[in-house]
């Protein structure tokens, strides 16, 4: 790739994107990821369903049993809620840093920190989403070998809301993947001695 001291960086696909366009694209993607992760957290935390079952009949009076399904009964869902909460906070902080932090002196650490934090949060949201997805699969299908009954036929609304939270989280995961990729592409070489990362144009080593 040719080194230029202008404002354009050729991407792999051969398009030439200006710095402003890249910045606003990244910001828009971060906003979407923040909204998706926050939605996933909220839907999962507020997920609760109570149902009354008739267990036996003594004479003519039925014996009722009230069961509640809450998200914190399952550790995987607690992890899911925490992971998505952390990812939404991360995206919010990154949006603030981008919009309001241009006068702060980062001593050259801004871009590597953003790239590393994006990668770590990507791993976090991926772990949370997948753990909850497999727990949901277990709740939906049960496991005949371990004699575990499925619960989604009794608690349909709980399962539906959980599925909605999972979809939002997977959307956040896809967005975080693209954001991570863009942040890594933003890392460029310092071939001069300047430090203010907003004004530098650098190219990846080859």
Smallest gap from residue 136 Cβ to other proteins (A): 10
CA–CA separation, 59 and 56 (whole Å): 10
Q: Which of residues 178-197 bind other proteins (CB under 8 A)?
A: 180-181, 184, 187, 189-191, 193
Q: Is 109 in the site for other proteins (CB under 8 A)?
A: yes
Decide: is 69 part of the binding site for other proteins (CB under 8 A): yes
Of 183, 179, 184, 186, whose CA–CA distance to 200 is shortest? 186
Q: CA–CA separation, 36 vs 87, rounded Å?
A: 10
- When binding is defined by CB under 8 A, the residue of 18, 64, 65, 148 that contacts other proteins is 148
Could you say which of 41, 74, 88, 121 contacts other proteins (CB under 8 A)? 74
In this chain, which of 39, 139, 158, 162 binds other proteins, going by CB under 8 A? 139
Structure tokens belonging to residue 106:
């980062």
Measured from the CB of residue 37, what is the shortest distance to other proteins in angstroms?
Answer: 16
By CB under 8 A, tell whether 49 contacts other proteins. Answer: no
152 counts as binding other proteins under rule CB under 8 A? no
How many chain residues bind other proteins (CB under 8 A)? Answer: 51
What span, in angstroms and rounded, lies between the C-alpha atoms of 63 and 53?
A: 8
Distance CA 133, CA 84 (A): 14
Which parts of the chain fold into alpha helices (H)? Answer: 19-45, 75-100, 110-141, 156-185
Using alpha carbons, select from 179, 173, 167, 177 the residue that is nearest to residue 40: 167
Name the residue nearer to other proteins (CB basis): 96 or 196.
196
Interaction between residue 59 and other proteins (CB under 8 A): no
| Residue 41: burial class (beta carbons within 10 Å; 0-12, 13-18, 19+) | buried
Query: Site residues (CB under 8 A) for other proteins?
Result: 67-70, 73-76, 79, 107-109, 112, 115-116, 119-120, 122-123, 126-135, 137-139, 143, 145-149, 151, 177, 180-181, 184, 187, 189-191, 193, 202, 204-205
């Amino acid at each position: 790739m040719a080194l230029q001291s202008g404002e354009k960086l050729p991407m792999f696909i051969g398009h030439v994107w200006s710095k402003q366009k890249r910045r606003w694209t990244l910001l828009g993607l971060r906003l979407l990821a923040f909204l998706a992760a926050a939605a996933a957290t909220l839907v999962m935390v507020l997920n609760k369903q109570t149902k009354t079952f008739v267990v036996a009949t003594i004479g003519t009076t039925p014996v009722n049993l009230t069961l509640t399904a809450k998200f914190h009964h399952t550790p995987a869902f607690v992890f899911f809620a925490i992971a998505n909460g952390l990812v939404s906070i991360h995206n919010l902080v990154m949006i603030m840093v981008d919009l309001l932090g241009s006068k702060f002196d980062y001593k050259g650490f801004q871009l590597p920190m953003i790239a590393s934090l994006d990668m770590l949060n990507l791993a976090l949201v991926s772990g949370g989403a997948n753990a909850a997805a497999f727990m949901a699969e277990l709740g939906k299908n049960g496991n005949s070998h371990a004699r575990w009954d499925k619960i989604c036929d009794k608690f349909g609304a709980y399962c539906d809301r959980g599925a909605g939270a999972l979809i939002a989280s997977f959307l956040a995961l896809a967005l975080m993947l693209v954001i991570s990729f863009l942040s890594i592409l933003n890392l460029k070489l310092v071939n001069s001695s300047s430090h203010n990362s907003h004004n530098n144009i650098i190219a990846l080593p080859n």
